[in-house]
Structure 1
Protein backbone atom coordinates (compact mmCIF):
# COMPACT_ATOMS: atom_id res chain seq x y z
CA UNK A 1 0.00 0.00 0.00
CA UNK A 2 1.30 3.45 -0.91
CA UNK A 3 1.75 6.03 1.80
CA UNK A 4 -0.21 9.21 1.06
CA UNK A 5 1.75 12.42 0.56
CA UNK A 6 -0.56 14.51 2.73
CA UNK A 7 -3.24 13.78 5.28
CA UNK A 8 -5.26 16.07 7.54
CA UNK A 9 -3.31 16.62 10.74
CA UNK A 10 -4.48 17.28 14.27
CA UNK A 11 -4.67 21.08 13.99
CA UNK A 12 -6.87 21.05 10.88
CA UNK A 13 -9.23 18.44 12.31
CA UNK A 14 -9.41 20.16 15.72
CA UNK A 15 -10.50 23.38 14.00
CA UNK A 16 -13.19 21.44 12.11
CA UNK A 17 -14.67 19.83 15.26
CA UNK A 18 -17.19 22.67 15.56
CA UNK A 19 -18.44 22.07 12.00
CA UNK A 20 -18.52 18.32 12.63
CA UNK A 21 -20.80 18.88 15.63
CA UNK A 22 -23.15 20.93 13.46
CA UNK A 23 -23.29 18.22 10.76
CA UNK A 24 -23.60 15.34 13.25
CA UNK A 25 -25.63 16.46 16.31
CA UNK A 26 -24.77 13.26 18.22
CA UNK A 27 -21.16 14.52 18.49
CA UNK A 28 -22.40 17.33 20.74
CA UNK A 29 -23.00 14.72 23.43
CA UNK A 30 -19.30 13.72 23.43
CA UNK A 31 -17.07 15.86 25.63
CA UNK A 32 -14.79 18.08 23.50
CA UNK A 33 -11.67 17.03 25.41
CA UNK A 34 -12.32 13.36 24.58
CA UNK A 35 -12.73 14.22 20.89
CA UNK A 36 -9.46 16.15 20.93
CA UNK A 37 -7.60 13.27 22.62
CA UNK A 38 -8.88 10.83 19.97
CA UNK A 39 -7.66 13.18 17.24
CA UNK A 40 -4.24 13.23 18.94
CA UNK A 41 -4.19 9.41 18.99
CA UNK A 42 -5.04 9.31 15.29
CA UNK A 43 -2.40 11.88 14.45
CA UNK A 44 0.23 9.95 16.41
CA UNK A 45 -0.58 6.66 14.66
CA UNK A 46 -0.37 8.30 11.21
CA UNK A 47 2.95 9.94 12.12
CA UNK A 48 4.36 6.57 13.21
CA UNK A 49 3.33 5.11 9.85
CA UNK A 50 4.75 7.97 7.76
CA UNK A 51 8.00 8.78 9.60
CA UNK A 52 10.64 6.11 10.27
CA UNK A 53 12.16 5.72 13.73
CA UNK A 54 15.91 5.98 14.51
CA UNK A 55 16.61 2.57 13.01
CA UNK A 56 14.79 3.46 9.77
CA UNK A 57 11.75 1.24 10.44
CA UNK A 58 8.17 2.45 10.24
CA UNK A 59 5.16 1.23 12.18
CA UNK A 60 2.39 -0.58 10.33
CA UNK A 61 -0.58 1.06 8.66
CA UNK A 62 -3.10 2.43 11.17
CA UNK A 63 -6.06 0.12 11.70
CA UNK A 64 -9.39 1.64 12.59
CA UNK A 65 -11.26 0.17 15.54
CA UNK A 66 -14.59 -1.53 15.09
CA UNK A 67 -17.56 -0.45 17.16
CA UNK A 68 -16.96 -1.55 20.74
CA UNK A 69 -13.21 -2.23 20.35
CA UNK A 70 -12.07 1.16 21.64
CA UNK A 71 -12.94 0.93 25.30
CA UNK A 72 -10.89 3.78 26.74
CA UNK A 73 -10.81 7.55 26.69
CA UNK A 74 -8.80 10.18 28.50
CA UNK A 75 -9.66 13.28 30.47
CA UNK A 76 -6.45 15.20 31.08
CA UNK A 77 -8.06 17.56 33.58
CA UNK A 78 -9.63 15.91 36.61
CA UNK A 79 -10.05 17.72 39.95
CA UNK A 80 -8.81 20.92 38.30
CA UNK A 81 -10.73 24.22 38.62
CA UNK A 82 -10.88 24.45 34.81
CA UNK A 83 -12.37 20.95 34.52
CA UNK A 84 -15.81 21.93 35.79
CA UNK A 85 -17.77 18.87 36.93
CA UNK A 86 -14.97 16.36 36.23
CA UNK A 87 -13.69 15.08 39.58
CA UNK A 88 -12.85 12.05 41.70
CA UNK A 89 -14.10 11.93 45.28
CA UNK A 90 -14.32 8.93 47.59
CA UNK A 91 -13.89 6.39 44.79
CA UNK A 92 -16.53 7.95 42.54
CA UNK A 93 -15.56 9.48 39.19
CA UNK A 94 -17.94 12.21 37.99
CA UNK A 95 -17.67 13.33 34.35
CA UNK A 96 -19.78 15.99 32.69
CA UNK A 97 -22.07 14.64 29.94
CA UNK A 98 -21.48 11.08 31.22
CA UNK A 99 -22.38 11.01 34.91
CA UNK A 100 -20.94 9.26 37.96
CA UNK A 101 -19.35 5.84 38.17
CA UNK A 102 -17.40 3.98 40.84
CA UNK A 103 -13.66 3.51 40.20
CA UNK A 104 -10.97 1.44 41.86
CA UNK A 105 -7.84 3.50 42.43
CA UNK A 106 -4.79 1.26 42.00
CA UNK A 107 -2.36 4.13 42.60
CA UNK A 108 -2.41 7.80 43.52
CA UNK A 109 -2.05 10.50 40.90
CA UNK A 110 -1.39 14.21 41.12
CA UNK A 111 -4.59 16.17 41.46
CA UNK A 112 -5.16 19.79 40.62
CA UNK A 113 -2.12 20.10 38.34
CA UNK A 114 -2.49 20.66 34.63
Structure 2
Protein backbone atom coordinates (compact mmCIF):
# COMPACT_ATOMS: atom_id res chain seq x y z
CA UNK A 1 0.00 0.00 0.00
CA UNK A 2 1.39 3.38 -0.96
CA UNK A 3 2.01 6.31 1.37
CA UNK A 4 -0.93 8.24 -0.06
CA UNK A 5 -3.31 5.32 0.62
CA UNK A 6 -1.97 4.94 4.15
CA UNK A 7 -2.52 8.63 4.88
CA UNK A 8 -6.05 8.60 3.47
CA UNK A 9 -6.92 5.48 5.47
CA UNK A 10 -5.86 7.16 8.71
CA UNK A 11 -8.75 9.57 8.34
CA UNK A 12 -11.35 7.02 7.29
CA UNK A 13 -10.52 3.77 9.08
CA UNK A 14 -12.63 4.66 12.10
CA UNK A 15 -15.71 5.08 9.89
CA UNK A 16 -14.90 1.88 7.99
CA UNK A 17 -14.68 -0.11 11.22
CA UNK A 18 -17.92 1.41 12.52
CA UNK A 19 -19.58 0.49 9.21
CA UNK A 20 -18.45 -3.12 9.71
CA UNK A 21 -19.88 -3.09 13.24
CA UNK A 22 -23.17 -1.63 11.96
CA UNK A 23 -23.82 -4.99 10.26
CA UNK A 24 -23.18 -7.19 13.31
CA UNK A 25 -21.09 -7.35 16.49
CA UNK A 26 -17.53 -8.57 15.92
CA UNK A 27 -14.32 -9.10 17.82
CA UNK A 28 -11.02 -7.58 16.71
CA UNK A 29 -9.73 -10.48 14.65
CA UNK A 30 -13.04 -10.75 12.76
CA UNK A 31 -12.93 -7.04 11.97
CA UNK A 32 -9.39 -7.38 10.64
CA UNK A 33 -10.50 -10.35 8.51
CA UNK A 34 -13.43 -8.34 7.10
CA UNK A 35 -11.09 -5.48 6.23
CA UNK A 36 -8.81 -7.90 4.42
CA UNK A 37 -11.78 -9.36 2.54
CA UNK A 38 -12.51 -5.81 1.37
CA UNK A 39 -8.98 -5.43 0.03
CA UNK A 40 -7.36 -3.66 3.00
CA UNK A 41 -4.68 -6.33 3.27
CA UNK A 42 -1.97 -4.14 4.80
CA UNK A 43 -3.88 -3.09 7.91
CA UNK A 44 -2.28 -4.58 11.00
CA UNK A 45 -4.35 -6.17 13.75
CA UNK A 46 -2.69 -3.83 16.24
CA UNK A 47 -4.05 -0.83 14.35
CA UNK A 48 -7.57 -2.25 14.54
CA UNK A 49 -7.29 -3.04 18.25
CA UNK A 50 -6.02 0.45 19.06
CA UNK A 51 -8.90 1.94 17.08
CA UNK A 52 -11.41 -0.26 18.93
CA UNK A 53 -10.04 0.92 22.28
CA UNK A 54 -10.40 4.57 21.16
CA UNK A 55 -13.96 3.92 19.97
CA UNK A 56 -14.76 2.33 23.32
CA UNK A 57 -13.31 5.34 25.17
CA UNK A 58 -15.36 7.69 22.97
CA UNK A 59 -18.51 5.75 23.85
CA UNK A 60 -19.22 4.70 20.24
CA UNK A 61 -19.27 0.94 20.89
CA UNK A 62 -20.43 -1.42 23.58
CA UNK A 63 -18.14 -4.26 24.62
CA UNK A 64 -19.15 -7.70 25.83
CA UNK A 65 -16.68 -10.32 27.01
CA UNK A 66 -17.54 -13.70 25.52
CA UNK A 67 -15.85 -16.89 26.81
CA UNK A 68 -13.40 -18.41 24.34
CA UNK A 69 -12.61 -22.08 23.91
CA UNK A 70 -8.95 -21.14 23.49
CA UNK A 71 -7.57 -18.64 25.95
CA UNK A 72 -9.04 -15.57 27.62
CA UNK A 73 -12.53 -14.20 26.88
CA UNK A 74 -12.95 -12.28 23.62
CA UNK A 75 -14.10 -8.70 23.59
CA UNK A 76 -17.01 -8.45 21.16
CA UNK A 77 -17.74 -4.92 19.96
CA UNK A 78 -21.16 -3.69 18.89
CA UNK A 79 -22.23 -0.30 17.62
CA UNK A 80 -24.41 1.59 20.10
CA UNK A 81 -26.76 4.53 19.50
CA UNK A 82 -23.98 7.12 19.82
CA UNK A 83 -21.85 5.10 17.41
CA UNK A 84 -24.72 4.95 14.90
CA UNK A 85 -25.08 8.74 15.05
CA UNK A 86 -21.33 9.11 14.56
CA UNK A 87 -21.44 6.72 11.59
CA UNK A 88 -24.32 8.65 10.01
CA UNK A 89 -22.26 11.84 10.29
CA UNK A 90 -19.27 10.01 8.82
CA UNK A 91 -21.34 9.00 5.76
CA UNK A 92 -22.70 12.55 5.32
CA UNK A 93 -19.16 13.91 5.44
CA UNK A 94 -17.88 11.16 3.13
CA UNK A 95 -20.62 11.86 0.58
CA UNK A 96 -19.91 15.60 0.66
CA UNK A 97 -16.19 15.03 0.11
CA UNK A 98 -16.72 12.37 -2.57
CA UNK A 99 -19.03 14.68 -4.54
CA UNK A 100 -16.53 17.55 -4.38
CA UNK A 101 -13.63 15.31 -5.36
CA UNK A 102 -15.59 13.94 -8.30
CA UNK A 103 -16.33 17.49 -9.42
CA UNK A 104 -12.63 18.36 -9.26
CA UNK A 105 -11.71 15.15 -11.06
CA UNK A 106 -14.16 15.66 -13.91
CA UNK A 107 -13.77 19.45 -14.10
CA UNK A 108 -17.45 20.10 -13.28
CA UNK A 109 -18.69 22.89 -11.03
The question of a shared fold, defined as TM-score above 0.5 by the shorter chain, is answered with: no
- Structure-2-length-normalised TM-score: 0.31
Q: In proportion to residue count, which structure has more helix? A: 2
- Structure-1-length-normalised TM-score: 0.30
Q: Which has the higher contact order (CA 8 A, sep 6+)?
A: 2
